[in-house]
């Protein structure tokens, strides 16, 4: 039966359907080929970006080690490490703590003899590398190298007992001859090294390849002996060997040590100042996986509807663009704050240096460190610490201009780039930043008071490269900390010498603890009504072997910054309590006042440590008075109330020191379980002289009496001050007019000679006329 001819409409419709099928098929094939090539290029671009960040991070890691070893070497040379190598162990271990990637530190004499290795206990035999000719030859070559530092091929460490990188720095005398060699050993067989910190595709390999074709570092490394012990024959090594001077490249092929992995694709980038290449590779199948994941929905759409072709292609394009931006964002952003990370900031500053150099512009680099952040982190935990970092970042950002760049350098450190800024403009912005931190930061249900220390370096006056600018801004930041924190400092040449001096004092202070160079003196505290001695305040002194006594203001700040204040404070507490017990046992009913630093007060183990000292010295708790500064108590009032309450429950007395010099909320002040309020010397000096100071003292005394607490005036230097304050109702006093601080033996001799009543007091005078004159 003959079929009916198709109508023109039907023929047109059939042609349209076939055309639709043909066009859809061709479009799907065309798009498939196009997206495959694009996916290949996208993967190569992303791998190139990641290799660039790995190169930048690796170079920064090596430069940071070099910058850290330089002052360490100078310090060790000054303390005579060649005469007594073991004296360097504490400083070498401290360097390891500051650089967690370092597994061991060693020191070699110019002859190649190992003098000390932190991986080997003191007194244990050290390896003799003269018996290892290849190692010894490389060691002596590095000893004579003119380079700033040396990074030889990785070797199996005899002390660490694993494969590691030996980072070497030579300390030379004025004539350029080697004094000794410092070696930092960086383990290569553990996670968490500097190679293991990038968001990577699955089954990726990353590492550093030397210009001579040997592997410098690789992760993961299933068989380190095969990887590090032989010349690499991989595609990346071949490309570098065939193209001397190449900076970056993309490679593909099969690695000799990972034949089972099949074809791989990767990229490499040369380190800026080292003859090494950072590389990353992923399985070639990764391209197919990415292509299928990204394009399957679009290809299905092509088969069903040609009309959706353009929309689908646009969507997948946008999707892949977003994916690429996400990878780039992860590699350049700090995970906690979302700010540019260290590598990104360094790149931005380098670009700014290039622009400023071409256009004769100035800009500023600010280095910020949060004061006493570690104390808060230890007291409340890392979760609160992380939230505080975010709150601080938001506060800093709110003070900046749109053109400025804020980045997180690491830990509690931030870096700010102020574009088109001279010294005056940088100072103005910094002052605005410091003012923003006057208000406590809200962290959950807590209000935490924290302050930043800011160092300022200006391009080009203080440096023309990123390393110098950051180093000088960091030096200026330490100068701001030296001023007490919560301040800023502009870099000056003499600050570098001051930082070196601070490190030297810190080292000497550590030795002072071991050599018993610290001592206590005691200043009598008298009852103003009777003139009798009722207690003593323990005050710290440092008597070095050179005989030049150092007062606390010369070293307490350094002890606070270095963390030495904790063991020093524990020694002071124990020594003072033991002396108080000795006096009480001799029939002298005296209490002992001991100052607590802000670090000690925020120590989570404070109450337990005080209880332990009281048990060991057998001192009655009521004979101990702990002095806490007003500013330390008000930093976190709620926590202060809990800590003081715990101490009070043990029977210990509490005094608020330097009252009136800080900011106190009366609502918190009335809740603080303090027994005594100490009137600061700055107000006592003005009694009978300054109207305002006299009024302030009168107000403080009224407040103290109203809260049913005891008042103590410190720093009394004249008889008039003593009698005026006595007439105002102040109960206790101390100061040079009564007695200078004296050692325990002299203190006992004073009481033996004059008895408890060391101040002759008449009946209370009528001080209304005195007060009237200063109103």
pLDDT given at position 500:
64
Reading the block at residue 453, the tokens are 């220390």
Q: Tell me the C-alpha to C-alpha distance, in Å, between residue 270 and each of 207, 248, 348, 416.
A: 12, 6, 19, 27
Give the up-direction half-sphere exposure of residue 356: CA atoms within 13 A in the CB hemisphere.
24
- Helix (H) / strand (E) containing 329: helix 309-332
Choose between 483 and 415: higher pLDDT: 415
pLDDT class of 549 with cuts at 50, 70, 90: confident
Torsion of CA 474, 479, 484, 490, to 10 degrees: -90
Q: Annotate 580-623 with DSSP letters as a single string.
A: HHHHHHTT---EEEEEE-HHHHT-TTHHHHHHHHHHHHT--GGG
Cβ neighbours, 10 Å, residue 248: 14
Helical axes 423-436 vs 382-398, angle rounded to 10°:
130
Q: What is the pLDDT of residues 57-99, one digit of tens each?
A: 888 888 888 899 999 999 999 999 999 999 999 999 999 999 9
Q: What is the pLDDT of residues 96-114, one digit of tens each?
A: 999 988 999 999 999 999 9
pLDDT class of 770 with cuts at 50, 70, 90: very low
Mean pLDDT value across residues 609-627: 95
Of the candidate ranges 196-200, 524-528, 717-721, the one whose mean pLDDT is the lowest = 196-200
Choose between 661 and 651: higher pLDDT: 651
Cβ neighbours, 10 Å, residue 447: 13
Q: What is the pLDDT of residues 592-605, one digit of tens each?
A: 999 998 888 888 88
List, in order, residues 6 or more apart from 20 with CB less than 8 Å away. Answer: 306
Give the up-direction half-sphere exposure of residue 717: CA atoms within 13 A in the CB hemisphere.
10
Choose between 734 and 222: higher pLDDT: 734
- Helix (H) / strand (E) containing 572: helix 565-585
- Contacts of residues 205-208 at CB distance under 8 Å and 24 or more positions apart, as own/partner, are 205/255, 205/258, 205/264, 205/266, 205/279, 205/280, 205/281, 205/282, 206/54, 206/278, 206/279, 206/280, 206/281, 207/278, 207/279, 208/58, 208/271, 208/276, 208/277, 208/278, 208/279
Beta-strand pair 591-596/533-542: parallel
Mean pLDDT, the chain, integer: 84
The partner residues of 69 in beta bridges, in order of sequence, read none
Closest CA to 443 of 386, 371, 518: 386
Mean pLDDT value across residues 640-660: 88
Beta strands in 355-395 (DSSP E): 363-370
Q: Annotate 132-158 with DSSP letters as a single string.
A: SHHHHHHHHHHHH--SSSB----EEET
List, in order, residues 6 or more apart from 283 with CB less than 8 Å away. Answer: 203, 261, 262, 263, 264, 265
The partner residues of 266 in beta bridges, in order of sequence, read 251, 281
Closest CA to 266 of 240, 296, 244: 240
Q: What is the pLDDT of residues 23-41, one digit of tens each?
A: 667 766 777 777 778 877 8
pLDDT class of 14 with cuts at 50, 70, 90: low
3-state SS, residue 316: helix
For 472, counting Cβ atoms within 10 Å of its Cβ (0-12 exposed, 13-18 middle, 19+ buried), the class is buried
Q: How many residues belong to the chain?
A: 775
Q: Decide: 542 and 550 in contact? Cβ < 8 Å.
A: yes
Q: What is the pTM of this model?
A: 0.46
Reading the block at residue 54, the tokens are 């790995």
Beta-strand pair 653-659/624-629: parallel
pLDDT given at position 553:
79
Beta-strand pair 205-210/114-117: unpaired
Beta strands in 69-204 (DSSP E): 104-108, 114-117, 155-157, 162-172, 178-187
Buried b / exposed e across 395-423, counting CB within 10 Å, b at 16+?
bbbebbeeebbbbbbeebbbbbbbbebee
Q: What is the pLDDT of residues 329-345, one digit of tens each?
A: 666 788 899 899 988 89
Reading the block at residue 509, the tokens are 């202070």
* Residue 663, φ and ψ in degrees, nearest 5: -110, 120
Reading the block at residue 741, the tokens are 């601080």
pLDDT given at position 18:
61
pLDDT class of 590 with cuts at 50, 70, 90: very high
Give the up-direction half-sphere exposure of residue 763: CA atoms within 13 A in the CB hemisphere.
1
Nearest-angstrom CA–CA distance, 701 and 659: 11
* Residue 181, φ and ψ in degrees, nearest 5: -120, 130
* Residue 99, φ and ψ in degrees, nearest 5: -125, 85
Cβ neighbours, 10 Å, residue 438: 10
Of the candidate ranges 200-209, 456-465, 629-638, 720-729, the one whose mean pLDDT is the lowest = 629-638
Q: Where are the alpha helices (DSSP H) in 408-465?
A: 423-436
The partner residues of 410 in beta bridges, in order of sequence, read 413
Give percent above pLDDT 90 in the chain: 39
Q: Decide: 148 and 66 in contact? Cβ < 8 Å.
A: yes
pLDDT given at position 59:
87
pLDDT given at position 727:
92
pLDDT given at position 3:
42
pLDDT given at position 774:
34
pLDDT given at position 10:
47
Q: Decide: 231 and 213 in contact? Cβ < 8 Å.
A: yes
pLDDT given at position 539:
94
Q: Is the pLDDT of residue 53 over 80?
A: yes
Nearest-angstrom CA–CA distance, 277 and 279: 6
């Amino acid at each position: 039966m003959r079929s009916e001819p198709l109508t023109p409409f039907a023929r047109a419709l059939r042609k349209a359907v076939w055309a639709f099928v043909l066009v859809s098929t061709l479009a799907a094939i065309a798009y498939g080929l196009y997206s495959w090539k694009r996916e290949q290029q996208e993967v190569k671009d992303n791998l190139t970006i990641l290799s660039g960040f790995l190169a930048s991070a690796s170079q920064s890691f090596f430069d940071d080690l070099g910058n850290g070893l330089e002052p360490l070497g100078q310090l060790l040379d000054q303390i005579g490490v060649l005469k007594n190598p073991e004296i360097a162990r504490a400083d070498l271990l401290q360097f390891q703590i500051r650089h967690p990637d370092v597994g061991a530190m060693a020191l070699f004499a110019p002859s190649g003899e190992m003098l000390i290795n932190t991986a080997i206990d003191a007194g244990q035999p050290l390896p003799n590398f003269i018996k290892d000719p290849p190692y010894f030859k490389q060691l002596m070559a590095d000893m004579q190298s003119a380079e700033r530092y040396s990074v030889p091929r990785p070797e199996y460490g005899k002390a660490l007992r694993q494969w590691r990188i030996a980072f070497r720095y030579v300390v030379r005398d004025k004539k350029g001859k080697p004094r000794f060699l410092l070696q930092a050993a960086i383990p290569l067989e553990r996670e968490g090294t500097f190679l293991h910190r990038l968001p990577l595709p699955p089954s990726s390999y990353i590492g550093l390849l030397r210009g001579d074709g040997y592997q410098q570092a690789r992760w993961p490394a299933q068989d380190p002996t095969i990887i590090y012990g032989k010349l690499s024959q991989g595609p990346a090594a071949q490309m570098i060997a065939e193209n001397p001077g190449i900076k970056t490249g993309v490679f593909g092929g099969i690695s000799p040590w990972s034949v089972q992995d099949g074809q791989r694709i990767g990229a490499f980038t040369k380190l800026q100042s080292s003859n090494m290449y950072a590389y990353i590779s992923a399985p070639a199948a990764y391209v197919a996986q990415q292509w299928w994941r990204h394009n399957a929905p679009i290809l299905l759409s092509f088969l069903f509807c040609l009309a959706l072709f353009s929309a689908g292609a646009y969507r997948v394009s946008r999707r892949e663009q977003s994916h690429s931006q996400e990878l780039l964002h992860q590699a350049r952003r700090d995970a906690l704050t979302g700010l540019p990370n260290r590598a990104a900031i360094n790149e931005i500053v380098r670009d700014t240096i290039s622009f400023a150099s071409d256009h004769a512009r100035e800009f500023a680099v600010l280095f910020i460190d949060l004061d006493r952040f570690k104390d808060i982190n230890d007291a409340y935990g890392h979760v609160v610490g992380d939230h505080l970092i975010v709150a601080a970042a938001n506060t800093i950002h709110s003070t900046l201009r749109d053109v400025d760049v804020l980045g997180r350098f690491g830990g509690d450190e931030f870096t700010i780039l102020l574009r088109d800024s001279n010294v005056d403009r940088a100072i103005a912005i910094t002052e605005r930043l410091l003012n923003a931190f006057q208000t406590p930061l809200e962290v959950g249900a807590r209000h935490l008071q924290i302050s930043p220390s800011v160092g300022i370096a200006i391009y080009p006056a203080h440096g023309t490269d990123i390393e110098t600018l950051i180093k000088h801004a960091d030096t200026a930041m330490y100068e701001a900390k030296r001023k007490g924190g919560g301040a800023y400092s502009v870099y000056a040449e003499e600050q570098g010498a001051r930082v070196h001096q601070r490190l030297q004092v810190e080292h000497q202070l550590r030795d002072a603890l071991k050599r018993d160079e610290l001592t206590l003196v005691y200043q009598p505290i008298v009852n103003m009504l009777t003139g009798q001695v009722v207690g003593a305040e323990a005050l710290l002194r440092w008597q070095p072997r050179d005989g030049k006594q150092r007062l606390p203001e010369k070293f307490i700040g350094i002890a606070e910054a270095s963390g030495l204040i904790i063991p020093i404070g524990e020694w002071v507490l124990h020594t003072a309590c033991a002396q108080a017990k000795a006096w009480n046992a001799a029939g002298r009913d005296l209490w002992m006042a001991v100052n607590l630093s802000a670090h000690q007060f925020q120590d989570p183990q404070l109450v337990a440590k005080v209880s332990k000292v009281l048990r060991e010295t057998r001192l009655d708790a009521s004979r101990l008075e702990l002095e806490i500064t007003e500013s330390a108590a008000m930093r976190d009032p709620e926590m202060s109330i809990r800590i003081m309450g715990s101490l009070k429950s043990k029977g210990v007395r509490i005094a608020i020191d330097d009252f009136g010099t800080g900011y106190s909320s009366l609502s918190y002040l009335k809740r603080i379980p303090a027994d005594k309020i100490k009137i600061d010397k700055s107000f006592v000096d003005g009694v009978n002289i300054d109207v305002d100071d006299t009024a302030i003292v009168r107000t403080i005394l009224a407040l103290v009496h109203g809260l049913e607490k005891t008042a103590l005036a410190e720093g009394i230097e004249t008889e008039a001050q003593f009698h005026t304050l006595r007439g105002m109702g102040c109960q206790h006093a101390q100061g040079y007019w009564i007695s200078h601080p004296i050692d325990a033996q002299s203190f006992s001799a004073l009481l033996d000679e004059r008895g408890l009543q060391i101040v002759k007091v008449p009946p209370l005078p009528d001080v209304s006329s005195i007060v009237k004159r200063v109103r």
